[in-house]
Chain A
């Protein structure tokens, strides 16, 4: 069976003026379907860069990155857009909701790009918000919602096009501990009940240890450790 995600010697270098920043410098890893993987590392370790590459928001400088066997490094920008649309749902630390749109419209926006008809979009957006425990607030705009509520909207949006892979980049970084626990609980539920593969980027070893099946530790762009919990 093909692994959901497989990287080989994955590199991402940036030019910063005269010097070259080696954000990722040869990462090889595999993620199987249904796994909950933690990517642990300090700031600048390359964990977010790796997540952006997996999300198809960025292109590797070298190496391969296969999702269901297709190499993202070889894809056109339109193909990468389709990959973001269908294969992955991204959850950000800063939520990244469109502040002028209602919660429901934010979720529906993802389906709009996927070509889902309007009535179907609205129905499904409501369903997802209900499932995230936001049944009373679909017409609220992000500024009217608490941090935890906004992150629930963002998770609903990530699930909109039924991706196999959820990418969470410090999803609890802007939340208090109680809300953090709720959001992590939701991700755990999505992994266990719905079979979504989750990749969690965090600097918090305890958080990774608590929720992830497997934790990969990055430092200066290379994998320095891997542990199962």
Chain B
């Protein structure tokens, strides 16, 4: 007997009892729908959540600081100069700790970090002390340099008014809503397009644009420029997740901050450095190509002798929580599937009872135990596959309905809407495959019962 023959016979038998087959298939489809629905809800929530986090720009970012710039280690920072840059990268952790050079976080170091695999970009976190003037308002604050790549990330996803910088060379700035309200209490929106004046102290080297070495890096010069307000953000961004960073309500393009940021007063020791050391930054942000590589890159940067932090661990925790949520949801969904698999067992047992005589006949004319078992297994798995297919369709429909209803509610509560239910192809395939496997398991007992029937007794059965 060929597999094709078993299929033919099994489908014929299912057609003989259309109502019973349909009801059993419906039972399986409800089970599969609830399982697939629960899993897809879990996936949808996870995508919403983790997707939002990933977009926040916090998990693919590493904040790098030079240990030399740690407050209170001024002497150490100076002592490490002699080792030179080249040795620091190659040295790695094998170097003896006490004599480990403390590499400065300068442009060379940033280049070196940028050359690491999986690193998308590196930029220094610059905060330039400035005085902000607008009409009657004048206040010392600091201007944070914002990389162009931060567009659509973190705080820059939602603008109260206006938009992000167009390019990094324009004299444009962004304000936080808090700061904007202090500038124009009644209507911060009016500030868009207005000009503010920034005044800062620049060391002569950079302000003058002279490439020659200055005799005295402490020689400061007053500089002033007018900046156009292009956008107001609702939240104040933390610079690359730097812990304890002083938040600033004023943001300018990173390139502009570089131009004016000759002196970072936040780290006094930079004032005392010789020009041969180049300019070093208090901290820098490293963006990796994908959040999953954050750990790897972070470790490489640490091996280079820098301090590095990221918030990736928090995301890992969230992912673990979602895996647990998925498991819980699929367990709930499995209950319905377990009930419907009992439905398969019941249907098959009934069908065998009804067809006992037929089984006897098939055995008497040469059907082997294996033939009989296979016919019933194919019947059960056909029920499973049909149920799986119908279940995925049903689950999808219910999912759409739940999604629609939930989003209506979320919108009425003022929350962000999104697709809460996700039904990827692997889940469709998996659900049908799972229905198939469950039905095979459910069918195996009735099928082997049928196969073991004594033909003489089966033939006497009415």
A binding-site residues for B, Cβ under 8 Å:
52, 55, 57-58, 77-78, 81-82, 84-86, 90, 92, 96-98, 100, 109-110, 112-115, 118, 157, 160-161
Closest CB of chain B to A165's CB: distance in Å? 13
**In-complex Cβ contact of B455 among A57, A78, A109, A157 (8 A):** A57
B binding-site residues for A, Cβ under 8 Å:
1-2, 5, 9, 16, 357-358, 360-371, 455-456, 459
Closest to B366 in A: A85
Known contacts A81-B366, A84-B365, A112-B5; 13 additional CB pairs below 8 A are: A52-B456, A57-B459, A77-B368, A81-B368, A84-B364, A90-B365, A98-B362, A100-B16, A112-B1, A113-B366, A113-B371, A118-B5, A160-B365
Closest CB of chain B to A115's CB: distance in Å? 6
**In-complex Cβ contact of A113 among B360, B362, B455 (8 A):** B362
List the 7 closest A-B pairs by CB distance, nearest first: A85-B366, A81-B368, A110-B365, A113-B366, A113-B367, A84-B366, A57-B455
Are A82's CB and B364's CB within 8 A?
no
Are B358's CB and A110's CB within 8 A?
no
Are B1's CB and A115's CB within 8 A?
yes
Knowing A98-B361, A113-B1, the reply to whether A82 touches B456 (Cβ < 8 A) is: no
Are B366's CB and A161's CB within 8 A?
yes
Chain A residues with CB below 8 A from B363, complex form? 57, 81, 84
Chain B residues with CB below 8 A from A86, complex form? 366
Closest CB of chain B to A13's CB: distance in Å? 15
Are B368's CB and A78's CB within 8 A?
yes
Kindly state the separation between the CA atoms of A96 and B359 in the bound complex, as whole angstroms. 11
Are A85's CB and B365's CB within 8 A?
yes
Closest to A163 in B: B366
Knowing A57-B456, A113-B1, A115-B2, the reply to whether A96 touches B364 (Cβ < 8 A) is: yes
**In-complex Cβ contact of B459 among A92, A100, A109, A157 (8 A):** A92
Closest to A95 in B: B361
Closest CB of chain B to A19's CB: distance in Å? 19
Closest to B9 in A: A112
| Chain B CB within 10 A, most for which of A52, A97, A112 | A112
Are A109's CB and B365's CB within 8 A?
yes
Are A96's CB and B459's CB within 8 A?
yes
Closest to A49 in B: B456
**In-complex Cβ contact of A110 among B360, B366, B370, B455 (8 A):** B366
Chain A residues with CB below 8 A from B365, complex form? 84-85, 90, 109-110, 113, 157, 160
Chain B residues with CB below 8 A from A112, complex form? 1, 5, 9
* Sampled A-B contacts (15; CB under 8 Å): A57-B456, A57-B459, A77-B369, A81-B371, A84-B365, A86-B366, A92-B459, A96-B360, A96-B361, A98-B362, A112-B5, A112-B9, A113-B1, A157-B365, A160-B365
Chain B residues with CB below 8 A from A118, complex form? 5
Kindly state the separation between the CA atoms of A161 and B362 in the bound complex, as whole angstroms. 14
Closest CB of chain B to A101's CB: distance in Å? 8
Are A82's CB and B2's CB within 8 A?
no
Are B2's CB and A78's CB within 8 A?
no
Chain B residues with CB below 8 A from A161, complex form? 366
| Chain B CB within 10 A, most for which of A77, A113, A160 | A113
Are B368's CB and A113's CB within 8 A?
yes
Chain B residues with CB below 8 A from A77, complex form? 368-369
Kindly state the separation between the CA atoms of A115 and B459 in the bound complex, as whole angstroms. 23
Knowing A96-B357, A96-B459, A97-B361, the reply to whether A78 touches B369 (Cβ < 8 A) is: yes
Closest CB of chain B to A119's CB: distance in Å? 13
Closest CB of chain A to B323's CB: distance in Å? 47
Are A55's CB and B364's CB within 8 A?
yes
Are A114's CB and B366's CB within 8 A?
yes
Chain A residues with CB below 8 A from B368, complex form? 77-78, 81-82, 113
Closest to B361 in A: A96
Closest CB of chain B to A72's CB: distance in Å? 14
Chain B residues with CB below 8 A from A160, complex form? 365
Closest to A161 in B: B366
Are B5's CB and A57's CB within 8 A?
no
Kindly state the separation between the CA atoms of A85 and B369 in the bound complex, as whole angstroms. 13
Closest CB of chain B to A31's CB: distance in Å? 20
Kindly state the separation between the CA atoms of A81 and B359 in the bound complex, as whole angstroms. 13
Closest CB of chain B to A145's CB: distance in Å? 16
Kindly state the separation between the CA atoms of A114 and B1 in the bound complex, as whole angstroms. 6
Kindly state the separation between the CA atoms of A85 and B60 in the bound complex, as whole angstroms. 70
Closest to B365 in A: A110
Chain A residues with CB below 8 A from B361, complex form? 96-98
Chain A residues with CB below 8 A from B5, complex form? 112, 118
Closest to A86 in B: B366
**In-complex Cβ contact of A58 among B1, B358, B371, B456 (8 A):** B456
Closest to A77 in B: B369
Closest CB of chain A to B21's CB: distance in Å? 14
Chain B residues with CB below 8 A from A58, complex form? 456
Kindly state the separation between the CA atoms of A14 and B2 in the bound complex, as whole angstroms. 36
Kindly state the separation between the CA atoms of A165 and B357 in the bound complex, as whole angstroms. 23
Knowing A57-B456, A92-B459, A97-B361, the reply to whether A81 touches B367 (Cβ < 8 A) is: yes
Kindly state the separation between the CA atoms of A109 and B372 in the bound complex, as whole angstroms. 13
Closest to B358 in A: A98
Closest to B459 in A: A96
Chain A residues with CB below 8 A from B367, complex form? 81, 113
Closest CB of chain A to B410's CB: distance in Å? 55
Closest to A48 in B: B456
Kindly state the separation between the CA atoms of A177 and B367 in the bound complex, as whole angstroms. 33
Kindly state the separation between the CA atoms of A100 and B17 in the bound complex, as whole angstroms. 11
Closest to B4 in A: A118
Kindly state the separation between the CA atoms of A160 and B367 in the bound complex, as whole angstroms. 14
Knowing A98-B361, A100-B16, the reply to whether A82 touches B1 (Cβ < 8 A) is: no
| Chain B CB within 10 A, most for which of A57, A81, A98 | A81
Are B1's CB and A90's CB within 8 A?
no
Kindly state the separation between the CA atoms of A100 and B18 in the bound complex, as whole angstroms. 14
Closest to A98 in B: B358
Kindly state the separation between the CA atoms of A8 and B40 in the bound complex, as whole angstroms. 69
Closest to A90 in B: B364
**In-complex Cβ contact of A57 among B9, B358, B364, B369 (8 A):** B364
Closest to B364 in A: A90
Kindly state the separation between the CA atoms of A98 and B369 in the bound complex, as whole angstroms. 18
